[in-house]
Amino acid sequence: MMKPPQIAILGAGIFVRTQYIPRLTEISDLVVLKAIWSRTEESARGAVEIAASVSQK
């Protein structure tokens, strides 16, 4: 069986945090979220924290 593709998110705005990340965790068997990039480190870290907390549920 092939490994799922690894993806990165460019941007960590409200839509990414409230829509993309939760939807990606729903299909975590199909894709792996590898990285999140944002213009500010603070925003990127916040999105990573959300992704980590959503994926643990």
Helix, strand or coil, per DSSP, at residue 4? coil
Separation CA 4–CA 57 (nearest Å): 21
- Could you tell me the residue ranges of all domains in the chain? 6-55
CB proximity list for 31: less than 8 A, separation 6 or greater = 4, 5, 6, 7, 24
pTM (two decimals): 0.83
Dump pLDDT digits (tens) for 15-54: 999 999 999 999 999 999 999 999 999 999 999 999 999 8
Here the tokens at position 14 are 């409200």
